[in-house]
A and B are shown apart, each in its own frame.
Chain A
Amino acid sequence: MAGRYRGVVAIIQFPGVNCEYETAEAVRSAGLEAGLFRWNEDPALLQEAAAVVLPGGFSYQDRIRAGVVAAKDRIMDAIGVLARQGRPVLGICNGAQVLVESGFIPGLHWERVDLALAPNVMADREGYYCAWTWLRCEDSPCLWTGAFAGGEVVPVPIAHAEGRFSTDDESVIEAMRANGQIVLRYCTAAGEIDPAFPVNPNGSMDNIAGVCNPEGNVLAMMPHPERASWLRQVPEGLAGSWGRRRVAAACDPGKMEDGGPGRRFFESLKLGTGGAR
């Protein structure tokens, strides 16, 4: 068993997550190795992993509150150690909720819970919401967006009921801004920040879609990059350049296999780790 995860991007399979298989495929599409890591395996095996990804889903049935039970799982202790050593860690959707509940994000004070992912606030609807959104990648030290140009706009879908980044402590926001931790913000196809639904799909403060730690190696993002890692996954009716590329790929199945906007997050990992292995 030893060495099973050497140089591999470990996708943590908590009971109840449901995006682990496609997340592994998306990681592989960026030229990296990926493997599933069952939550109760020996944490020491993670030591040699190139990076850790917490995929989306409903870990532990979102009992009590989304992500909170998984945040207390012993595997998170091991992941915390790696994160502090600078190992790349990405939490997607439920994974983001786990990172926030464990206090790794925003990480201003290690393991202090400074943020919440609260129930969506939307015009005309409530609860779960699945839709494509646009994200503006802000200038930041984040390793997971290294392949993006500052201010670049990419479409990536969300699907959640509790994704509203919130805090009642203004100083947390200020510190995150000062550190460049607000990596991803919901915007229009043209890149404008509009606080209203549906541009801001869940009522997040400051339109926040993703937050990294001050060092930039840990990122918690609500949108699902693995669902936007091939051009074929982009809806035809989407506005902006990605929608146009998708329309232009009609009747060309080869083109459909091209990379999509979300793959860039995984390519960033490859870039940031010197190609992992």
Chain B
Amino acid sequence: MLKGTIPIAGSDDGRVAAILEENGLNLAVGEARRVVELLGRDPTIVELTIFNTMWSEHCSYKSSRRLLGELLPTKAPNVVLGPGEDAGVIRYAEAEGGDWHCLVIAHESHNHPSQVLPVEGAATGIGGIVRDVYCMGADVVGVLDPLRFGDPAGPNARQVISIARGVVDGIAQYGNPLGVPNLGGDIAFDPRFDENCLVNVVAVGTVLESRVLRSRVPEEAARMPYRIVLIGKPTDDSGFGGAAFASEDLVDGEQANRGAVQVPDPFLKRVLTVATRRVLELAREKKYVIGFKDLGAGGIACVTSELAHAGGFGVIIDLDAVNTAMGYAFPPAVVSCSETQERYALAVPEEFVPDVLRVYNEEFELPRLYHGAGAVVIAEVTRDRMYRIESGGEAVCETPVDVITTGISYDRPSKARRPAIKDPPLQPGRPLRDDFLKILGSPNIASKNYVFKHYDSEVQGRAVLRPGEADAGVIAPLPGRAVGLAFSVDGNPWYGAIDPYQGGALAVCEAARNVAAVGAVPSAITDCLNYGNPEVPEVFWEFTEGVRGIGDACRGIGLISHEGHPLPVVSGNVSFYNQGARGKAIPPSPIVCCVGVVEDYSRCRSLAFKEEGDEVFLVGEPLAELGGSEYLRTVYGAEGASVPKADFVRERGQIRAVLEMHRRGWVRACHDISQGGLLTAVAEMALGPAGEGSLGLAIEASNLSAAGLGAETVLFSETGGFVVEVGPGIERDLLAVCAHNRVQLRRLGVLRKGGRLVVTAADAILASWSLDELRGIYLTACRPIFGAGKGA
């Protein structure tokens, strides 16, 4: 019997609920009883706190695990490690001696913290996600950030703008000092995010396959003594309960939530990263096998139990050895479970410990650079598979390690929500000229250059295509080699709001299209699934539909480099409880990051039109799919119903056709059709990423639809496709490639100097714009949100 156990077994439900409440725990009464059942006795406060964290939705995936396993394909020939580790790993290029260059990727949300404390919330989002990649032994080579904010012109504009600016600042304040370039991201604004913004973060890294580190005590620990070394910032009570905080609804009165947000320190992280590089080098030199894991949700308890459990060992943790902030004696439950940032745990042979301590504490002087920081031995690995925490000479937790890591799972009820919605009737004779200016000036469409230039996109020197320059960010990861990596993040909340299945499927399609637009083969995806409260059956149905859409799209598009295999989902995250204090859930927002591999990055071109006399083609065909479009929202003030329907055969054909055009070196510019439709895509190419373009185009709208759709549908429907610029005289070659892949090709026109964009129908001019006037709107429409001055 351990000292200080909590009487659960002998208390009635009301009393148990009161005990949980008093201790600030979110466990359900039934869950507390389950703890008693697993332990075979009443738990200590430390044990209860551990289960509280491990069984939070954030850590346990208790509502989603079963569904994800059933619906998402995670295996493919290029996958080294799929979901389950801190990050997914895929092979992308052969290395010497049969080894492989691998890409490591992780994707998470930091929504609630960013709503409450935007700068710190977003910064710790970056801080946490890069740790997941570093701890695989990789160098982090980039981050991406899909962001969803409220309405910057609505009733909550002041707060929305302040959050948007704070988040962008937080991302910059962490990523820039850390020395990790920003590779891309997207931003969408909708009033349904007023009370719950979304801040998703993706980190990508590179590592040789032979050097991938696992989050477990290595099997060598059966033959030689191993220790667990805690590295980094001194433990404090910041972020105590953070995982649980992410797993409940935000409550009114932000102050109540703030204590659960962690404190970021990119400086310390940078030094830790450089020092760790040295430790990993030494371990390789001395041929020690080590385990490495970052401390995130659940802190020391989570990291030690998972390291031990994954390796099949036990541990004895000495909480008194943990370096705490100002040497303060926090309660054992806090030291065990606080989510203090900038910490890692290494499982290393005892004889390697002096080297490890020397590198962190002496060579890189962590204790001098940050008061209380450093590397300390906190645990001994045991072979008995027992998990034991000691504090003040007494055990405060003692149980088989498998009990600590026992999962929990729920089957949530699901109920379809099918509102009676329809498209608004289109108004004949609408002023196309003015309507398009409105669309281009919508904050969802207008240039995000203000934001992109706030991030360091050049550090590390690998950038080939920077944020905004093309549909995907591209880097050249291996100096002297032609292989390139492309990344895109996507997820359209308006599609999900109308049809949650299409929301998931189209997120995959668009992300895959975006990497194909720069000539890269879609090779893996990650997903971050942002939804409301899963205990609400309609929300759980939305979630189920979204996951089903993602899974279907991955199988439908497939892995083009390995015929017959799906596009694998290698990592991801589920974020539930995204709703405001007034209970309004966000629109279903699955967000997907697609990784593309390109044999030769020199073929990756920006989306800007390049040369006078070049010809511009449309790959694909606009359909009557205006539902959820920027056009309906901006011009008609309506959402509509007819969202684009993902057609995987068509998507796959288009992607293959465009990749073939790239492979043959024909493509001079390429842009996919998405938000804002065909006309927006063409305008963005004419303007170029920084608005420097001068080449114009005249589009004949009546030729673009076999079904004879009207000009506004053709120009603004968001049916997927590509706009491609090629040199003159190769239309027949393009047609052959498209016919082979069974996709449509239509000629849009020839690039002309003079800087005008013109739309004609049956040779009559419907509308025309000078690039100068488009430029003025496109470049400045986001100024009130992100420009100088301290907001509205």
Contacts and interface: CB of A to CB of B under 8 A. Distances in A.
Interface in A222-264: 224, 226-227, 229-230, 232-233, 235-237, 239, 247, 249-253, 255-257
Interface in B352-380: 363-365, 369
B450 A256 contact: no
Contacts of A251: 600, 602-603, 665
B787 A128 contact: no
B672 interface: no
Interface stretch (B174-182, B228-236, B547-555, B646-654): B174-182
B172 A232 contact: no
A57 B179 contact: yes
B404 to A, nearest CB: 36
Given A226-B461, A257-B480, A18 B602 contact: no
B602 A252 contact: yes
A185 B461 CA distance: 23
B459 A159 contact: yes
Interface stretch (B329-337, B463-471, B583-591): B463-471
Contact of A18 (B270, B454, B457, B689): B270
Contact of B169 (A58, A127, A232, A239): A127
B456 interface: yes
Interface string B209-242: 0000000000000000000000000000000000
Contacts of B480: 257
B391 interface: no
A38 B479 CA distance: 25
Contacts of B600: 251, 253
Given A125-B788, A253-B602, A229 B461 contact: yes
Given A235-B469, A236-B606, A19 B455 contact: no
A33 B609 CA distance: 41
Nearest to A129: B453
Contact of B453 (A130, A224, A226, A236): A130
B68 interface: no
Contacts of B461: 22, 25-26, 226-227, 229-230, 233
A193 interface: no
B460 interface: yes
Interface string A43-59: 00000000000001110
Interface residues of A, number: 48
A187 to B, nearest CB: 17
B450 A16 contact: no
Contacts of A227: 458-459, 461
B463 A15 contact: no
B787 A13 contact: no
Nearest to B176: A128
A236 B177 contact: no
Contacts of A229: 461
A251 B599 CA distance: 11
A233 B365 contact: no
A122 interface: yes
Contacts of A255: 602
B177 A224 contact: no
A58 B688 CA distance: 33
B695 to A, nearest CB: 13
A172 interface: no
A247 B479 contact: no
Interface in B309-365: 363-365
Given A125-B450, A233-B463, A237-B692, A15 B369 contact: yes
B476 interface: yes
B689 A250 contact: no
A25 B270 CA distance: 19
Contacts of B172: 127-128
Instruction: Give the interface size bracket for B toward A.
Output: 35 or more
A130 B469 contact: no
Contacts of A233: 458, 461, 463
A232 B602 contact: yes
Interface in A138-173: 157, 159
Interface string B771-792: 0000000000001001110000
B580 to A, nearest CB: 29
Nearest to B470: A236
Interface string A114-143: 000000001111111111000000000000
Interface in B454-505: 454-461, 463-466, 469, 476, 479-480, 482
Nearest to B139: A21
Contacts of A230: 461
B270 A40 contact: no
B177 A61 contact: yes
B107 interface: no
B270 A16 contact: yes
Contacts of A18: 177-179, 270, 459
A58 B177 CA distance: 6
Nearest to B366: A15
A232 B476 CA distance: 9
B274 interface: yes
A131 B454 contact: no
A236 B459 contact: no
A25 B479 contact: yes
A22 B169 CA distance: 25
A157 B12 CA distance: 67
A131 B455 CA distance: 10
Contacts of B465: 236
Contact of A127 (B177, B454, B456, B466): B454
Interface in A181-218: none
Contacts of A253: 482, 600-602
B271 interface: yes
A19 B690 contact: no
B271 A256 contact: no
Nearest to A18: B179
Given A25-B479, A129-B453, A19 B369 contact: no
A249 B600 CA distance: 12
Contacts of A19: 179, 459
B671 interface: no
B608 interface: yes
Interface string B245-273: 00000000000000000000011001100
Contacts of B460: 21-22
A126 B602 CA distance: 34
B788 A126 contact: yes
Contacts of A122: 788
The interface centre, meaning the residue of A18, A127, A252 with most chain B CB atoms within 10 A of its CB, is A18
B453 A57 contact: no
A26 B459 CA distance: 13
B145 to A, nearest CB: 15
Contacts of A131: 453
Interface string B575-613: 000000000000000000000000011110110101000
A224 B458 CA distance: 9
Contacts of B453: 125, 129-131
Given A22-B460, A124-B788, A38 B363 contact: yes
Given A18-B177, A57-B179, A61-B267, A232 B464 contact: yes
B482 A130 contact: no
A247 B364 contact: no
A1 to B, nearest CB: 13
Nearest to A38: B363
16 contacts: A16-B267, A18-B270, A18-B459, A19-B459, A58-B267, A124-B787, A125-B787, A127-B454, A130-B458, A226-B461, A230-B461, A232-B601, A235-B466, A250-B603, A252-B602, A256-B602
Interface of B: 169, 172, 176-179, 266-267, 270-271, 274, 363-365, 369, 450, 453-461, 463-466, 469, 476, 479-480, 482, 600-603, 605-606, 608, 610, 665, 668, 688-690, 692, 783, 786-788
Given A16-B177, A127-B172, 6 more contacts: A124-B783, A125-B786, A227-B461, A232-B601, A250-B605, A251-B665
When A and B form their complex, which 6 residue pairs have the shortest distance between CB atoms, in order from nearest?
A: A18-B179, A253-B482, A61-B267, A22-B461, A58-B177, A253-B602
